[in-house]
Amino acid sequence: MRADLSLTSNLVDAIRNAKETQDEAIQQLSSGKRLRSISDDPAAAAQLIGLHSSSAALDAYTAGTATVRARFAAADSALATGVQLATRAVSLAVSGSNGTVSAAERQSIASELQGVQDQLLATANSQFNGRYLFSGEADSSPAFASVNGAVTYQGSHPATVEIADGVQIANGQAGNALFGSDGSNIFDALSGMIQSLSSNSSPQNSVAALQSSLNQLITKRVSYGSAMSAMDDAVTSATDSKQRVDTEQNQIDGADMTTAASALTQAQVAQSAASAAFSKVASMSLFDYLPR
């Protein structure tokens, strides 16, 4: 009987071991992962913790940069409109300064310039996702306000944003850097031009001031294109790094699907054989062990 008990115990162990092997193989096949807990491979688990952290940081940079880039694209589009309006204003100003233009014609040009000024102010106060693009950190309020005919900047300096580890850029340009400082901005130039034309005077000084404002707007707009290029490079770099991290994670924790499938099949066969043997042994009586 002692031999019988030993055999039974061995068969139970074989069934249990086969079941554990099956469970592990099934887990690997369903999850694609080799490790179920830190205790399976502490050293590998420590590496994975660091890689998971790096992967999460790269994802955060990519998502954050995408948001900033969308804001920059909206700002660049608004500035493109601003350049078109300012160019039209210069053209009108040059026409109005012509000595052959009549008073009525100058009045008509002044009226059109007033419309251009209103559109330009609306452009300078453009929004993206409910935030004002050119107000700096004070982007909950319009960048410019018109009070008694004078347009003044009421924003602040732009904040900086991190687009990659250790790489920061300004979150856009302040409105007064784009459209000019108070007392000498593009709106002041337009107001002076409108006043001159309305009084049938030649707005020579205003033409020069407006051309200077246009040049400044064109020059400053370039920074948005440069920043977007830098962000594209940062996203490309982050994507490449993420792929390397994912590959390294898979090398450490990725299950060998072929091996796992083979192990599952072998464990099922072993469990079936052990179970059949156990059933046979369990059905035997004492007389089956007696000599015949």
Q: Give all domains of the chain, ordered by start, each with its CATH number.
A: 56-247 (1.20.1330.10)
DSSP state of 128: E
Average pLDDT over residues 35-56: 76
Tokens read off for 206: 């205003």
| Burial zone of 228 (CB within 10 Å; 0-12 exposed, 13-18 middle, 19+ buried) | middle
Report pLDDT for 270.
Answer: 65
Other C-beta atoms closer than 10 Å to the C-beta of 274 total: 20
Say if residue 253's pLDDT is above 70: no
Say if residue 3's pLDDT is above 80: no
Render pLDDT for 62-84 as a digit per residue (tens, 0 to 9): 999 999 999 999 999 999 999 99
Interatomic CA distance for residues 231 and 161, integer angstroms: 11
Report pLDDT for 1.
Answer: 43
Q: Contact 22/267 with Cβ under 8 angstroms?
A: yes
204-216 exposure pattern, b = at least 16 Cβ within 10 A, e = fewer: eebbebbbebbeb
pTM: 0.73
Confidence tier at 286 by pLDDT (50, 70, 90): very low
Q: Contact 196/98 with Cβ under 8 angstroms?
A: no
Average pLDDT over residues 35-51: 72
- Between residues 1 and 72, which one has the greater pLDDT? 72
Render pLDDT for 89-140 as a digit per residue (tens, 0 to 9): 999 999 998 888 999 999 999 999 999 999 999 999 999 999 999 999 999 9
Pinpoint the alpha helices (H) of 97-203. 103-124, 175-179, 186-198
Confidence tier at 267 by pLDDT (50, 70, 90): low
Report pLDDT for 114.
Answer: 96
